[in-house]
Amino acid sequence: MKRFVHIAKIFVLGLSALVAASCGVSKVKDIKVTSVDFKYITPTSARSLDAVLLLGIDNPAPAIKISALEGTVSYGDRALVNVTSGGIDLQKKSSQVYEVPCTATLVDGVSLLSLIPGFTVAPDALKADVSLHVAFKNGPGTDLVFNDLKILNFTR
């Protein structure tokens, strides 16, 4: 269960960093995740959990709406966990903590016990595919898709 929670936490952290790095406005690239914590974690079944992440974000840019967050964490070529998250409305030029609801669900055919050997043998084989919708306030949005992101890069 602890590994499952760790994956969800890394996923959202990486997602926030990707949004900051992918937008064209120079101040958007200065967005920083300052803290990550959990408000609560609720196992909903043996295969999934709901959580509310507390993300501390420093946003020197205009207001940004991030929505339609979805992704899959894989080990090698095998999908392990699907993650979906509620949206985040980043306030302009602010530094605050945002509550982000998310759900992590094991892919069919994967059990919690089957995850353990992979993490200890080769954690660098963990990767994520992420899609999200980003829009500036009162402006058109764009869909962003990132494939084969090395999760280990976001934990260092």
The per-residue pLDDT for range 63-85, each reduced to its tens digit, is 888 887 888 888 888 888 898 98
Give the CATH number of the domain where residue 36 resides.
2.60.40
Report residue 105 as tokens. 């669900």
The per-residue pLDDT for range 103-145, each reduced to its tens digit, is 989 999 888 777 666 556 566 777 888 888 888 877 777 887 8
Range of the domain at 145: 2-155
What is the tally of structural domains in the chain? 1
pTM of this prediction? 0.68
